[in-house]
Amino acid sequence: MAQPITFFQILLILLLHDYISAEDGETRASCRTAPADLVFILDGSYSVGPENFEIIKSWLVNITRNFDIGPKFIQVGVVQYSDYPVLEIPLGTHESTENLIREMESIHYLGGNTRTGRAIQFAFDHLFAKSSRFLTKIAVVLTDGKSQDEVKDVAAEARKNKITLFAIGVGSEIEEDELKAIANRPSSTYVFYVEDYIAISRIKEVIKQKLCEESVCPTRIPVAARDEKGFDILVGLGVKKKVKKRIQIPTTNAKAYEVTSRVDLSELTRNVFPEGLPPSYVFVSTQRFKVKKTWDLWRVLSLDKRPQIAVTINGEEKTLSFTTTSLINGTQVITFASPHVKTLFDEGWHQIRLLVTEDFVTLYIDGQEIEMKPLHPVLGIYISGLTQIGKYSGKEETVQFDIQKLRIYCDPEQNKRETVCEIPGFVSMVDELLRTT
Ligand SMILES: *[C@@H]1O[C@H](CO)[C@@H](O)[C@H](O)[C@H]1NC(C)=O
Ligand SMILES: *[C@@H]1O[C@H](CO)[C@@H](O)[C@H](O)[C@H]1NC(C)=O
């Protein structure tokens, strides 16, 4: 006789299910796992030659190794083209990176003319249009010659349909204007040029970073005349609503928030950084404080409160630490103890900037480079916990401080462009330029 399932059994199943999915939910978010449809459109014309085509394949495989392939993550498709396009790998046919790589390695070189326009149209009709996933769509066009068909309008149409186009030109036969017409703007972000096929391995890292920025940093922050990819953490944490009191920073146009110990500046990390952070980024904050204890200006905690990332100010030692994940033992803490760090503790306004790359973290205070320190390889961050600002280390208590800016820029180049004009007594770079010219 079959036992009827009781209410308690159902409850137990539900509870167990919740327990399991909570554990599953703690996946590390990073570029490896950011969901995106990525299509490589590869030139297989005569000018490439079989040897160079092997280099292209190896490059493709090396870039693909940086991603977790799967229905929930990134999907990669490949089109090879000469006179006509060939669907080498459709989107979404692979469950694992290894299978996909094996298929990439077995692609045969075509030979023929260069009809790039037709290939982009093909990728649109036969790959992107067939994908049912609503997410970041990226196409990378790799070519070594001028297209023998119309390419401008086809590319414009694809971009209009929310496909982000990168163009990589190889060798001296390339037409720069054509690459610019294919790719998104600004060209400095979406167009690459290398002198020969050997050199494409040199742009592997930057392509990886740029592909990652597309899927991990969907939001833009208006900065001067441009829109920068990144995260305005004050916006992400709803500081405008939570902190009522504003103060004007003397002699500048900048306004700041006066944070008291009564507010809680926390938000689910999932809502702030849904796909984690790219391999390289720039942290910038402008604040003043009197507190003499150790506190986290910014931190990302896992569900069980392990720090994933933190910028910690140590008022006793007068140092600044950067905490991030580590492939070696989960966490690494980099401490900047140079005498210049002491200026942060003079109760005045200061800008802290950290340039984080895959190998180094560099601290800048008020636009001056202070120190550069090596980093071990990092892991993705857990996003099921909280992102917080202004908390005493290891506690939930909010620190009393004033904050004007707290941002993450995804493009490491922003490190060179960021000014300190919100700091009293510092002229902006623009003013400086105007005066010296
Ligand atoms: C791909 O990676 C392998 C192993 O690191 C390396 O030997 C090869 O040169 C790389 N290929 C390209 C084109 O970068
Ligand atoms: C492991 O992490 C801790 C905490 O950051 C650190 O003190 C320690 O040196 C690390 N060990 C290794 C082998 O890196």
pLDDT (tens place) for every residue of the chain, 437 residues total: 444 555 445 444 444 433 333 434 567 888 888 889 999 999 999 999 999 999 999 999 999 998 888 888 889 999 999 999 999 999 988 888 899 999 999 999 999 999 999 999 999 999 999 887 778 899 999 999 899 999 999 999 999 999 999 999 999 888 999 999 999 999 988 999 999 999 998 888 888 889 899 889 877 888 777 788 999 999 999 999 999 999 998 888 889 999 999 999 999 999 999 899 998 999 999 999 999 999 999 999 999 999 999 999 999 999 999 999 999 988 999 999 999 999 999 999 999 999 999 999 999 999 999 999 999 999 999 999 999 999 999 999 999 999 999 999 999 988 888 888 888 876 555 555 555 44
CATH at residue 20: 3.40.50.410
**C-alpha 306 to ligand 2 mean position (Å):** 14
Is residue 5, in this structure, part of any structural domain at all?
A: no
CA dist 427 and 424 (Å) reads: 8
> 119 and 242: one domain?
no
Is residue 360, in this structure, part of any structural domain at all?
A: yes
Q: Which among 216, 243, 277 is the end of a domain?
A: 216
Is residue 284, in this structure, part of any structural domain at all?
A: yes
Residue nearest to atom 2 of ligand 1 (CA): 62
> 268 and 203: one domain?
no
**C-alpha 56 to ligand 1 mean position (Å):** 10
Q: From the alpha carbon of 200, which atom of ligand 1 is closest?
A: 13
Is residue 1, in this structure, part of any structural domain at all?
A: no
> 55 and 171: one domain?
yes
> 264 and 348: one domain?
yes
- Where does residue 70 fall: left (phi above 0), alpha (psi -120 to 50 degrees), or beta otherwise? left
> 17 and 158: one domain?
yes
Q: Which ligand is nearest to the CA of 205?
A: 1
Burial grade of 62 (CB within 10 A; 0-12, 13-18, 19 or more): middle
Is residue 436, in this structure, part of any structural domain at all?
A: no
Is residue 62, in this structure, part of any structural domain at all?
A: yes
Q: State whether the beta carbon of 196 lies less than 6 angstroms from ligand 1.
A: no
| pLDDT given for residue 108 in this prediction | 97
Q: What is the pTM of this model?
A: 0.84
> 28 and 171: one domain?
yes
> 352 and 324: one domain?
yes
Ligand 2 surroundings by CB, under 6 angstroms: 328-329, 331-333
Q: From the alpha carbon of 331, which atom of ligand 2 is closest?
A: 5
> 29 and 59: one domain?
yes
Q: Which among 166, 198, 216 is the end of a domain?
A: 216
> Taking the CA of residue 55 as centre, how many other CA atoms within 13 Å lie in the half-sphere pointing to its CB?
16
| pLDDT given for residue 25 in this prediction | 53
CATH at residue 419: 2.60.120.200
CA dist 296 and 315 (Å) reads: 11
| pLDDT given for residue 237 in this prediction | 95
| pLDDT given for residue 37 in this prediction | 92
> 259 and 204: one domain?
no
Assess whether the previous peptide bond of 186 is cis (omega < 30° from 0): yes
CA dist 183 and 43 (Å) reads: 16
The parent domain of residue 118 ranges over 11-216
| pLDDT given for residue 26 in this prediction | 67
Looking at the 3D structure of the chain, how many domains does it have?
Answer: 2
> 237 and 209: one domain?
no
> 198 and 308: one domain?
no
> 315 and 204: one domain?
no
Is residue 4, in this structure, part of any structural domain at all?
A: no
Tokens of 58: 């190896």
Is residue 434, in this structure, part of any structural domain at all?
A: no
CA dist 266 and 232 (Å) reads: 14
Q: Which among 157, 183, 216 is the end of a domain?
A: 216
Q: Among 58, 194, 197, 204, say which to mutate for ligand 1: greatest number of ligand atoms within 8 Å of CB.
A: 58
| pLDDT given for residue 422 in this prediction | 84
